[in-house]
Amino acid sequence: MTVHPLRLVLVNTPIGALGSGRGGGVELTLTSLVQGLILQNHRVTLISAMGSQLPSRCSAADLVEVDGVDQPSWQHANSKSSVIIPRNGLLPALWKAALEHGERADAVINCGYDWLPLWLTPYVRPRLFHLISMGNVAMVMREAIEALACSHPGRLAFHTHRQAADFCLPGAAKVVGNGFDLSNYNMQTKTNGPLGWAGRIAPEKGLEDAAAAAAALGEPLLVWGFKEDRDYADFVEASVPAGTLVWRGFCSTQEMQEELGRCRALISTPKWNEAYGNVVVEALACGVPVIAYDRGGPGELIKSGETGWLVPADDVAALTSALNRIDEIDRMDCRAWVESHATHEVFSARVYDWIRDGLRADANLTGTY
């Protein structure tokens, strides 16, 4: 495939600086995408909050930092919540900078999940593309996504088909998956390590079910992640015998993969329609099988019986039973799946195809590219 280098502006989530952990999986997605696009010789400008840090392998990107108050996450809103933008908000500050830099770019890629950039798309000269990072969590967001799918279908992409199915789209969804720099993940063949769980510590991630399964087996559970909801973390810890949860905190990719790779299995227990499941693929990259609820992105990523086991959603007994079958999984098959489906090279190539096709569609309508 011939790649024609583009000038691209990428916009981070308006929830925290890059590297803080507050942006959840978007941070890892964004850095992987930047790295892959740079390898394809695209010129990349990243717009992010003040205090953001890019990994060394993304140093060829131009980082533009803007100041502002973090945007409330739609993840914690109810389905009928209204659009809220705080005074001196980071969201409008990011998009002011993005539109300014977008005037000199071929395309602007929105990696955050919020209403403003979706609404702006038909009315501004820079061509805005949106990598949707969550499923249907609020009516106002669903309506904005579905409206844009009707007016500008080429401007939307999703991580998985299950995520895209949350929305009523006029045609087939563009699904680009996700990707990771596998040089950051060491394949480990050890099979008798502890159980692990990773993610933001928040109710929609379902840590209490993983804790219950570990407790049923009388084993500790190593937990990595940012404690977004400390009351919830306390609740989960109180629900199982003392010492069941071993809090490892928010770690760098290097630190986490070293510890995660020693695990016998990773448990994934989403209570919502997870758009993708970054930590699932990170575990597989280390050769760690994944036991997961058959819900959302993880249910699309895991090959049950080959790279782990899928069990009915919210069934702790089935989760516990599947943990006893980990030895049936070949850890080399876990790594092989990632090498074929989820490297940052594969991911950035899919994103490039999406942007290229969208720009060509615009050119057919306007006569300009």
Q: What is the pLDDT of residues 265-302, one digit of tens each?
A: 999 999 988 899 999 999 999 999 999 999 999 999 99
- Flag whether pLDDT at 345 surpasses 80: yes
| Section 181-199 average pLDDT | 93
pLDDT tens-digit series, residues 136-158: 999 999 999 999 999 999 999 99
Give the pLDDT confidence score for residue 328 in this predicted structure.
96
Amino acid at 182: L
DSSP 81: P
Q: Nearest 5°: CA angle at 133, between 127 and 138?
A: 100
Give the pLDDT confidence score for residue 221 in this predicted structure.
98
pTM of the predicted protein model = 0.91
Give the pLDDT confidence score for residue 24 in this predicted structure.
78
Give the pLDDT confidence score for residue 77 in this predicted structure.
83
Tokens linked to 91: 């969201």
Give the pLDDT confidence score for residue 365 in this predicted structure.
60
pLDDT tens-digit series, residues 207-255: 999 999 999 999 999 999 988 899 999 999 999 999 999 999 988 888 9
Q: Are 264 and 193 within 8 A, CB to CB? A: yes
Confidence of residue 6 (pLDDT cuts 50, 70, 90): very high
| Section 192-212 average pLDDT | 94
Give the pLDDT confidence score for residue 206 in this predicted structure.
96
- Flag whether pLDDT at 20 surpasses 90: no
| Section 67-75 average pLDDT | 92
- Break the chain into its structural domains and give their ranges: 7-179+343-366, 182-341
Instruction: Name the CATH superfamily housing domain 182-341.
Output: Glycogen Phosphorylase B; (3.40.50.2000)
pLDDT tens-digit series, residues 115-133: 999 999 999 999 999 999 9
Confidence of residue 8 (pLDDT cuts 50, 70, 90): very high
Q: Are 94 and 68 within 8 A, CB to CB? A: yes
Tokens linked to 75: 């993840």
Q: Cβ contacts of residue 128 below 8 Å, gap of 6+?
A: 102, 107, 108, 110, 117, 120, 121, 155
Q: How far is the C-alpha of 286 from the C-alpha of 260, rounded, in Å?
A: 8
Task: Spell out the alpha helix ranges (H) of 168-245.
Answer: 207-216, 230-238
Three-class SS state of 368? coil
Residue 229 CA, distance from chain mean position: 19
Confidence of residue 200 (pLDDT cuts 50, 70, 90): confident
Q: How far is the C-alpha of 281 from the C-alpha of 119, rounded, in Å?
A: 32
Q: Are 158 and 176 within 8 A, CB to CB? A: yes
- Flag whether pLDDT at 368 surpasses 60: no
Q: Are 260 and 234 within 8 A, CB to CB? A: no
Give the pLDDT confidence score for residue 25 in this predicted structure.
83
Give the pLDDT confidence score for residue 226 in this predicted structure.
85
Q: Are 240 and 212 within 8 A, CB to CB? A: yes
Confidence of residue 75 (pLDDT cuts 50, 70, 90): confident
CATH of domain 7-179+343-366: 3.40.50.2000
Q: Are 180 and 342 within 8 A, CB to CB? A: yes
Beginning with the edge strand found earlier in the chain, give each strand of the sheet holding 221-224 in spatial order.
Answer: 245-249, 221-224, 195-198, 265-268, 290-293, 308-311
Of all residues in the chain, what percent carry a pLDDT higher than 90? Answer: 85
- Flag whether pLDDT at 351 surpasses 70: yes
* Strand pairing class (245-249; 265-268): unpaired
Longest dimension (CA), the chain: 66
Give the pLDDT confidence score for residue 195 in this predicted structure.
98
| Section 182-197 average pLDDT | 93
